[in-house]
Amino acid sequence: MFNFDDANRKSKEAVDTALRTYSDTARGFQAIAAEAAEYSKKSFQDAVTHFETLAGAKSFEAVFELQTSYVKSSYENFVSEATKLGEMYADLAKFAYKPYEAPIAAAVAKTGRQAPPATPAAA
């Protein structure tokens, strides 16, 4: 028989979980945005400094060496930042999914179906 008290309690729990998850997800996106903005600011400052250094170079060889060094360090910084942002996105996804993991597993168990894998298989 349908119990309204249980339905009300479960509905409240679901809404509370959703609101907590949305709030935590918003904080995660704010952290990612702040990290991206900080990287952009630093990258721009590095480019301005590099251009000023290039303007003072005395020979083509010095310009070539400065440019090579700048491109190499810029690439390394970009790869490092992209890796860091990728990890932040992955952590955010895991954290956002966590509250729903147990209810979904319980719902799947009730249906008698096999639960989908937690991580997608490599293609």
pLDDT in tens, 66-109: 999 999 999 999 999 999 999 999 999 888 888 778 878 888 88
Q: How far is CA 60 from CA 51, 63, 68, 72, 73, in A?
A: 14, 5, 12, 18, 20
Whole-number average pLDDT of the chain: 87
Which amino acid is present at 36?
Answer: A
The terminus-to-terminus CA distance of the chain in angstroms comes to 46
Is the CA virtual torsion 35, 39, 40, 41 positive or negative? positive
Q: Which residue carries 């995660």 as its tokens?
A: 28
Residue 121, pLDDT above cutoff 60: no
Which residues, 6+ apart, have CB-to-CB distance to 44 below 8 Å?
none
28, 92 in Cβ contact below 8 A?
yes
What is the average pLDDT across 15-28?
Answer: 87
The Cα–Cα gap between 62 and 57 comes to 6
Token digits of residue 67: 């440019």
Q: What is the CA radius of gyration of the chain?
A: 25
Q: For residues 72 and 89, give the distance between their C-alpha atoms in angstroms, rounded to a whole number.
A: 26
